[in-house]
Amino acid sequence: MLAGLLAQVLNGVQYGLLLFLIGSGLTLIFGVMGVINLAHGSLFMIGAYLAFAVAGATGQFWLALPLAIIGGAALGTVLERLLFRRFRTRPHMDQVLLTFALILLFEEARSAVFGNQFHSVAIPAGLDFSVPVVGGFRYSAYRLAVLAICLAIAAGMVWLIERTRIGSAIRAAAENAAMLDLLGVDATRIHRLVFAGGTALAMLAGALAAPLQSVYPGMGDGFLILSFIVVVIGGLGSVAGAFWGALLVGMTDTMAKAYVPQAGGIAVCAMMAAVLIWRPAGLSGRG
């Protein structure tokens, strides 16, 4: 029983950290640019399909990770340049509709390029074994590796945001857009950087998740809602808030699914409602 619980905690942390990769980009894009991006889940899906394509063509899964980052940054730059820049000052409603249209178009493009089958990405050869964790329950080495990678990225992001010049500019922008001009920073550059970075993180998360779950149409949908909940719980524009929010969501979701499966979907939404009633602007308290 205790062993089972420990295993569930591990599952919750691993799931939560993956959510953090998606949610941290989302929270920065909203915090800094004020844009709601419903297509963020589609970017996750694109990352997973990229991993599928790269692993299939070259047999080198690891190659997919840098490619997801580079490709994500490129795609993010293009999207920001062509569309999102113009929607910064538009009402939320227009942003919702723009990004809903993007979901439809990304799904259709995915269907045209890859078809509609479920695909599977093999776990990279070096990590295709499992490690005994507790009480005879074994845990996949690749899952542990994903956990480590996510933690490393989270640490890197905190360092970037808290300790560097560009990070302080991003924090300032999330705090108050007008501050940027006072600091003498080019706001457009910050926007492009944040959007490209967020897209890259979502695609990296997709690539990392590909061997853990099948690659299939609409796979980003579930992650989209959960990562929005992460953003709201954590507070807009707060990377640290997104981190704790992601762990909370990952843990709640895993525990609910394990012990009260019928309430699996409701539990996370209920938790978010509870947090908002307690702190209407999320845990980090701004907004």
**CB closer to other proteins, 56 vs 156:** 56
* 147-179 residues labelled b (16+ CB within 10 A) or e (exposed): bebbeebbeebeeebeeeeebebbbbbbeebee
**CB closer to other proteins, 179 vs 255:** 255
**CB closer to other proteins, 4 vs 66:** 4
* Shortest Å distance, C-beta 287 to other proteins: 6
**CB closer to other proteins, 58 vs 116:** 116
**CB closer to other proteins, 199 vs 254:** 254
Which residues lie across from 100 on neighbouring strands? Answer: none
Q: What is the largest CA-CA distance in the chain?
A: 59
Which 3 state secondary structure label does DSSP give 29?
A: helix
Among candidate residues 205, 156, 201, the one with its CA nearest the CA of residue 15: 205
* Shortest Å distance, C-beta 156 to other proteins: 26
Among candidate residues 200, 201, 172, 175, the one with its CA nearest the CA of residue 186: 172
* Shortest Å distance, C-beta 251 to other proteins: 11
* Shortest Å distance, C-beta 29 to other proteins: 12
Say which DSSP state 236 is in: T
* Shortest Å distance, C-beta 133 to other proteins: 10
Give how far Cα 90 sits from Cα of 96, 122, 189, Å.
10, 43, 20
